[in-house]
Amino acid sequence: MGGGAVATRKARLLLRAGATLTVVSPEISRELQAMLGEHNGVWQRGRYQESDLHSAHLVVAATPDTSVNEQVYNDATRQSKLVNVVDAPHLCTFIFPSIVDRDPLLIAISSSGTSPVLTRILRRKIEAMVPAAYGRLASFAGRFRQLVKDKIPSEGPRRLFWEQTLEGTIAEQVLAGREEEAERQLHARLGDTEALHSGEVYLVGAGPGDPDLLTFKAARLLQSADVVLYDRLVSAAIVDMARRDAERIYVGKRRADHSVPQTEINQLLVDLAQQGKRVVRLKGGDPFVFGRGGEEIELLAKHRIPFQVVPGITAANGAACYAGIPLTHRDHAQSVRFVAGYLKNDTVEHDWTSFQSTTETLVFYMGLLGLPVICAQLQAHGRSPDTPVALVERGTTLEQKVLVGTLANMEEKVAQAQPAAPTLIIIGDVVRLHESLSWFGQAATE
């Protein structure tokens, strides 16, 4: 309804979308008349009547007369027709969103009638962000959709195939206008059946606790995974970053109570990948620092399953930074050593004579139970009883606590404080800096 400038604008959009158009109006613009002629549209000359709506699917009221527009709205809703009254969001059962047209790719933006200017600004940004050639990429993908579906019937591997295709070199070829080369590469990839049906495993370091310490790569892979295996050290906030429909498998370990034995985890990774799944194995901290990451990929390599290892911030780095304890320092420590502190046969097995240097910072992982042995051995092998010791509990999380003492009195302090796992022990002169450099403040420090 209507034949002026507004009606002409809407008509142009509708015709471009393939609509068959009837315009009801006593007069219409010359442009509209021409458009109708070109697209076999009809101009029904005259004033609006309810019966005009009978053959319509979609109704647009664009007359200058608000009472007519309102009448159109009432009639159309009574007849259960979709209706849009221009510039009256409350009289619309459908809207014309602002669009970015990369045919066949179409991006629609709407502010639900609140701010057309905002949608236009947003549209400009998206226009700039989405290359014009993306339409070509969409057509290219469309051409091979069925073929790929036939070749890769299961959904997981097929999604992986398309993600790699649309973000990889094949897409680059299409965007550069070399479709023949792109097609050749696509057929080559589809021919490599073994690669197509195998999944992939990513061994991902999740950092020491604070989700913000995840790497970009870890976050991206987490978003793409079909299955996520995680253990006790990985915080819930990080597991939550996985795709909503991704399967989550807890394979947590506790001291002496291994919920899922390591060999089973290794095998599980192989099995899932062989089902064509994309598996993220999340490990606390860094996968290659006391993480048994090496064992997990050994079996993958043996089965020729593609894998990647993504480094993470290890507990020593995270806890030391958040506790204000520099691991090295020009004046106090020229080296740092990461040491396993767990008990084996009731003792911590090391060549203790090699820990004598006063300019080396020692970081013990898994050392809470072994702490009395560690402190005693270091003193027995020449370290001064005054050597400062820090125990960082749940480092980098909001619950982080730092307990400071010396080799001589740490056992007693820990017995009193009863810290909760996981805890990290840092030993050396750098611990003295904690008081002045800690931004966690006194409250967190006992």
* DSSP output for 293-342: HHHHHHHHHHTT--EEEE----HHHHHHHHHT--SSBTTTBSEEEEEE--
* 283: contact with ligand SAH by CB under 6 A: yes
* 377: contact with ligand SAH by CB under 6 A: no
Residue of 218, 343, 366, 407 that binds ligand SAH (CB under 6 A): 366
Is the Cβ of residue 276 or residue 422 nearer to ligand SAH in the bound state?
A: 422
Tokens of 262: 């390591």
356 three-state secondary structure: coil
Is the Cβ of residue 221 or residue 403 nearer to ligand SAH in the bound state?
A: 403
* 91: contact with ligand SAH by CB under 6 A: no
Distance of alpha carbon 393 from alpha carbon 367, whole angstroms: 12
Is the Cβ of residue 423 or residue 438 nearer to ligand SAH in the bound state?
A: 423
Q: Note the helical H segments in 58-168.
A: 66-78, 116-129, 134-143, 145-151, 155-167
Query: Looking only at Cα atoms, what is the longest distance across the chain?
Result: 106
Tokens of 91: 């009289």
State which of positions 164-223 bind ligand SAH (CB under 6 A): 208-209
We find the least distance from the C-beta atom of residue 310 to ligand SAH, in angstroms, to be 12
We find the least distance from the C-beta atom of residue 200 to ligand SAH, in angstroms, to be 21
**Are the beta carbons of 335 and 357 closer than 8 angstroms?**
yes
| 413 catalytic residue (yes or no) | no
343 three-state secondary structure: coil
* 423: contact with ligand SAH by CB under 6 A: yes
* 422: contact with ligand SAH by CB under 6 A: yes
We find the least distance from the C-beta atom of residue 401 to ligand SAH, in angstroms, to be 10
Distance of alpha carbon 230 from alpha carbon 280, whole angstroms: 8
* 311: contact with ligand SAH by CB under 6 A: no
State which of positions 291-310 bind ligand SAH (CB under 6 A): 291
Tokens of 230: 């995680």
| 253 catalytic residue (yes or no) | yes
**Are the beta carbons of 362 and 335 closer than 8 angstroms?**
no
Q: Give the residues across from 61 on adjacent strands.
A: 85
Task: Name 111's Cβ contacts closer than 8 Å, sequence gap at least 6.
Answer: 118, 119
Question: C-alpha dihedral over 221, 222, 227, 233, to 10 degrees?
Answer: 120
* 290: contact with ligand SAH by CB under 6 A: yes
* 343: contact with ligand SAH by CB under 6 A: no
Is the Cβ of residue 141 or residue 218 nearer to ligand SAH in the bound state?
A: 218
* 289: contact with ligand SAH by CB under 6 A: yes
We find the least distance from the C-beta atom of residue 206 to ligand SAH, in angstroms, to be 9
From the list 75, 226, 231, 286, the catalytic residue is: 231
Q: Can you give the binding site for ligand SAH, defined by CB under 6 A?
A: 208-209, 233, 283-286, 289-291, 314-315, 319, 365-366, 392, 394-396, 422-424
Active site residues: 231, 253
